[in-house]
Amino acid sequence: MIKPNRALLSSAIGVLLIMSACGGSGAGSKPGEAAVTKDADRKPVEITFYRPNTATTEEQFMDLMGKRIKEKFPFVTPKFIPYGQGTNVNEVVTSGVDLDIIIFSIGFVPQTQNYNLQTDLSDYIKKFTYDTKRLESTTFDFIKQYGGGKIYSLPIFTTAQVLAYNKDLFDKFGVPYPKEGMTWDELYDTAKKLSRTDGGVPYYGFLTSVSHMLRMNQLSLPFVDAKANQPAIGTEKFKQMAENFTRFYRIPGAELPKEKQGKEGDLFLKDRTLAMYGYLNSAVVGAATAGMNVDAVSLPSFKEAPGTGSQMYPTFASVSSTSKNKEVAFEILAYLTSDEMQLKFAKEGTGLPVVNNPKLMEAFGEDIPQLKGKNIKAFYPAKPAAISPKSAYDDLVEKQAVTAFRELAQGVSDANTAFRKGEEQAAKEIEAAAKK
C-alpha cells in the first residue's frame, strides 16, 4: 500500500486527509445521482465506518465526512473506528463488530477479498439508478476488472502524480521552467543543467519517490503476472522503465549518495536542494502551504506512450459483507460521489474528483490561498494510464523492485543482475506467503 511521504504529509496536514463525499436524493435527483428515500420516519440506524492503515481520527472523520452524512441522512448516526492499537484489520474483523462501510486505498483492495468483506453493489446500482458512466473511466474499469464484472466498491476520491518544481532553484541557475508535454529525455536534459554543487551545497535536478513511481507507472506494468502468479519485474519493459529513472540519480558530478536515497521528499521540501520531484500532487499542496515558491506540470511521457500520465491512485468505499444495513450504506456511498460533496472537497483541497465534471477539477484548492495561480490543471492527468492489475503479493514484489532500483541507481549492479535477483527473491517470498 502506498504511504505518502511523511515530510509532505506533515506539511499539509488536513489537506492530505482526502475523503470525498457527495449526494442526491428523492425522485427529483439530478442525472447520475442515486435516489434516496425521502421518509422522515425511517428507522434510526447506526452506520459504522472503518478506514484501515491510516491515522484518521474520529474528529477528522466527522469534519471531513461524518457531519455531512448526518445532515443528509438525519436518521443515520455515523460511527467511526480509528485505526490503531487494538484496531488493526485482524482485530476489527475477528471482534465481530458490525462494520458497514470500509474506506481503503487501492493498495488494500486484495485484502478485502482475503477478509471476505466484499458486497456486490450491482443490485443497489440498479435499484437506485446510479449512473456509473459518470465515474472516471480508468478507475471504474479497474473496479470491474478486479471484481470479475462485479462491482464491490465505488471510488470516493483519487490522486495522481505530477512533476513538482522549485521555481527558486530554476531562477537561481537561470534555467527555464519545465513545460507541459515534455518527454523524459527532454526532462533529463533539463535536470543536467540543474545538477551541480554550488557554494559547497549539492543540488539535484530530478528525483522521485521510487515506490510511487513504479506502482503508478505510466506504462501500466504490473508487479505480478496474474496468470502465472509470479513476479513480473524482470521483464525488459520493466527494467527499461526503471533505467529511465535511475539515470537521474547518476548524473555525473551530482550522483545521489546512498544515504540520501529514500529521502527524496526531504531534499525537495526540507533541504530545498532538489529542483524537480516526481510525486503525488500533494507534493505541490504541501510545498505551497510550507511557503515554497513551487508549481507543477504534468509528468513527462514515454515515447512509447505519448501524452499518457500516471495511473490514478483512488480510495474506495465498500459496503461490508457483515453490514446489516446494506441499502442505507449504499445510499451513503452514492452520496460520497455526488457533485455536491465532490465540489466541497475539491475546493478544500482534500482530494481530486472521481467524477467526469471538469468544473469540479477547476475548483480544486480554491479555499487554499497558497494554491492561487498554480497550474492546478496538471494535478489531473489528461490521459491517465490504465491502472495496473493488483495482486495480494504486490507489496512483496514492490519491495524487491525498489531494492533493485536502489542497487542500479547506486551503480553497484546492472539492471539485468539487480532485477533478476529481485525477481528470484520475490518468487521465494510469494511461494512462502501462499503456503500460510
Lowest mean pLDDT among 19-28, 81-90, 131-140: 19-28
Residue-averaged pLDDT of the chain: 89
Evaluated on CA atoms 203, 209, 210, 213, the torsion sign reads: negative
287 and 220, same structural domain? yes
Task: Indicate whether 88 belongs to any domain.
Answer: yes
CA atoms within 13 A on the CB side of 99: 28
166 and 138, same structural domain? no
Return the C-alpha cell found at 186.
527532454
165 and 151, same structural domain? no
Radius of gyration (C-alpha) of the chain in whole angstroms: 22
pTM, whole model, 2 decimals?
0.89
Task: Indicate whether 368 belongs to any domain.
Answer: no
Q: Give the residue with greater pLDDT, 42 vs 293.
A: 293
CA-based nearest residue to 221, from 212, 229, 232, 210 = 232
172 and 96, same structural domain? no
* Tens-place pLDDT, residues 205-230: 999 999 999 999 999 999 999 889 99
pLDDT at residue 82, rounded to an integer = 87
Residues spanned by the domain of 179: 161-310+387-435
279 and 246, same structural domain? yes
CATH of the domain at 48: 3.40.190.10
Task: Indicate whether 122 belongs to any domain.
Answer: yes
* Tens-place pLDDT, residues 102-116: 999 898 887 777 777
* Tens-place pLDDT, residues 49-79: 999 877 889 999 999 899 999 999 999 999 9
Return the C-alpha cell found at 411.
551503480
216 and 127, same structural domain? no
151 and 129, same structural domain? yes
Evaluated on CA atoms 70, 316, 339, 333, the torsion sign reads: negative
Q: State yes or no: pLDDT of 1 exceeds 70.
A: no
Confidence of residue 372 (pLDDT cuts 50, 70, 90): very high
165 and 118, same structural domain? no
287 and 403, same structural domain? yes
Number of domains the chain is built from: 2
Measured CA to CA, the distance from residue 2 to residue 89 in angstroms comes to 17
CA-based nearest residue to 364, from 383, 382, 381, 351 = 351
CA angle 150, 155, 158 (to 5 degrees): 140
Measured CA to CA, the distance from residue 343 to residue 355 in angstroms comes to 10
